[in-house]
Amino acid sequence: MAKKVIKPVLSAAEAVKCIKPGMSVIIGGFNYGGIPYTLVDALVESGVGELTLIANDTAYEDVGHGKLVANGQVKKVVASHVGLNKKTGQFYMEGKLELELCPQGTFVERIRAGGFGLGGILTPTGVGTVVEEGKQVLEIDGKKYLLELPLRANVALIRAYQADRMGNLTYFGTNRNFNPIMATAADYVVAEVDSVLEVGELDPNEIVTPGILIDALVVKGDNYYANRT
Amino acid sequence: MPIELNEEMVRQRIARRIAREFHDGDVVNLGIGIPTLVSDYIPEDVRVIFQTENGAVGAGRAPDKPDLRFIGAGGRPLTILPGGCFVASDLSFGLIRGGHVDATVLGALQVSQEGDLANWMVPGKIVPGMGGAMDLVVGARRVIIATTHTTKKGEAKILRKCTLPLTAKGVVKLIVTEFAVFSIEKGQMKLLEIAPEVTLEDIKAMTDADFTVVDPLITMQGTEEEKA
């Protein structure tokens, strides 16, 4: 379905209503940086559960989407690192959470494949390790590669810096991280931003994510970390 | 037997020695722990460009006033130097896997004499995840390991074969501990330097691996700069 040309600017609570129990959600961020804190808090508040969370890490148990895990709303995590959130490891060991760990460079390429129409990617990362288990190994010009499959989600919650009303996005500092790639790999994409400008106010040379990928915009709230990132 | 170096001396010694490995213009990624300290010892006439997994190219020291919009891969605030830039994670790992990073410095749980590295999980314990480590060791042109020579219990960390799950096979090129520097080339480990307070026999006793010894074996570089 075609997305609207002029994007709705929603409250976080309205924006996360598109997320239903059992859905997969891809969430931007790396450690403290680039997490859509306001959206994530609204999702925590909604209590929607049985989610598959696709994110680089699971933050901290009381920070960002780490709270989704701690709150028991997540049945499966796909991530590269979960060591900073004690609840992720604990729930996994207790059998309450499915965990798929993926090398970080592979993780981002799988999302890119999901968003870019590729059937998978070939990477040398993980050859000869447990990451290889159950995967197809291809030899090309004498070098071994693992076939890694695409990742997509029902909904992406991303964080950008400025948007215009058409959903074009810029990014700031290390908040950028996975966000531009994740914007390509979900059926419905919500971007949390510092501010929303009129169409034409962003320099086309500085726009990183074209608005055609975006469904809705949310202006960041006054969460402690939203304010500082 | 080796003298007692305190933990801080050990960390600083390893970092200082590794800082001598870089050339002007090298792009370097530092892991957390001892590797982070390496940036404090880069010689003034060598300009190293520090890259972080989360997308900084040209990272500088921690700022006086932390700003969470500029952080390193460990979550610590950083500055971006003039000429630096930010990239998204796909390009960041493209730089890493694509051979555009000259060296990575990482810690280790175990290293084998053939350059296998284990530094991401211990079976039975909560698994934190590999993060970017597997990509870094496969993609960086040179993998340098910064590690204490033995575990806190005194067990060897440099082994014939790793017993822990691997991060990658045959990738380590240089190992720097508080007592020794080893190179690994074509599956062959060689002792290059030795700390002033230990003997070759001490190193053999602490290392559960086969290695050759360079001739002449020299004193570990940088130890002469240490202040008592």
Residue B2 has pLDDT above 70, yes or no: no
**Annotated catalytic residue within B7, B21, B44, B53:** B53
Q: List chain B domain ranges.
A: 7-220
Mean pLDDT of chain B: 95
Distance from CA of A196 to the nearest CA of B (A): 19
The tens digit of pLDDT for each residue in B174-208 reads: 999 999 999 999 999 999 999 999 999 999 999 99
**pLDDT bucket at B228, cuts 50 / 70 / 90:** low
CB-CB: which of B54, B97, B167 is closest to A105? B97
Candidates 3.20.20.80, 3.30.70.1880, 3.30.465.10, 3.40.1080.10; correct CATH number of A9-119+150-223?
A: 3.40.1080.10
Give mean pLDDT, residues B62-79: 92
- B105-124: pLDDT as tens digits: 999 999 999 999 999 999 88
Phi, psi of B53 (to 5 degrees): -55, -35
Task: Flag if B135 and A106 touch (Cβ within 8 Å).
Answer: yes
pLDDT category of residue B52 using cuts at 50, 70 and 90: very high
Q: Mapped to the 3 state alphabet, what secondary structure does chain A carry?
A: CCCCCCCCEECHHHHHHHCCCCCEEEECCECCECCCHHHHHHHHHHCCCCEEEECCECCECCECCHHHHHCCCEEEEEECECCCCHHHHHHHHCCCCEEEECCHHHHHHHHHHHHHCCCCEEECCCCCCHHHCCCCEEEECCEEEEEECCCCEEEEEEECCEEECCCCECCCHHHCCCHHHHCCCEEEEEEEECEEECCCCCCCCCCCECHHHCCEEEECCCCHHHHHC
Distant-in-sequence, close-in-space partners of A134: CB < 8 Å, separation ≥ 6: none
Interface of B with A (CB under 8 A): 52-56, 67-75, 80, 86-90, 92-93, 96-97, 126-135, 138-139, 165-169
Least confident of A49-58, A140-149, B48-57, B73-82: B73-82
pLDDT in tens, B124-136: 888 899 999 999 9
Give the pLDDT score at B127.
Answer: 86
Contact A125 B55 (CB under 8 A): no
> Does B101 have pLDDT greater than 80?
yes
State yes or no: pLDDT of B3 exceeds 70: no
pLDDT given for residue A186 in this prediction = 98
Q: In whole angstroms, give the CA distance from residue A212 to residue A199.
A: 13
* Minimum Cα–Cα distance from A77: chain B residue: B129
Residue B62 has pLDDT above 90, yes or no: no
The predicted structure's pLDDT at residue B227: 74
The residues of chain A scoring below 50 in pLDDT are none
- When pLDDT is cut at 50, 70 and 90, the band that residue B27 belongs to is very high
Helix (H) or strand (E) holding B93: helix B89-97
pLDDT value for A48: 98
Q: Is the pLDDT of residue B1 over 60?
A: no
Name which of A92, A129, A177 is nearest B89 (Cβ-Cβ): A177
**Is the predicted pLDDT of residue B218 greater than 60, yes or no?**
yes
B53 part of the active site = yes
Amino acid at site B87: V
Contacts of B126 in chain A (CB under 8 A): 83, 89-90, 92-93
Contact call for A105 and B135, based on CB within 8 A: yes
Question: How many CB atoms sit inside 10 A of residue B210's CB?
Answer: 10
Does the distance separating the beta carbons of B127 and A89 come in below 8 Å? Answer: yes
pLDDT higher at B53 or B32: B53
Q: Which of A26, A30, A97, A179 to mutate to test the interface with B (most CBs of B within 10 A)?
A: A30
Predicted pLDDT at B61: 87
For residue B4, pLDDT beyond 90: no
For the domain made up of B7-220, give the CATH fold: Glutaconate Coenzyme A-transferase (3.40.1080)
Mutate which: A174, A181, A229, vs B, most B CBs within 10 A = A174
Share of chain B above pLDDT 70, in %: 98
Residue A130 to chain B, least CA–CA distance (Å): 7
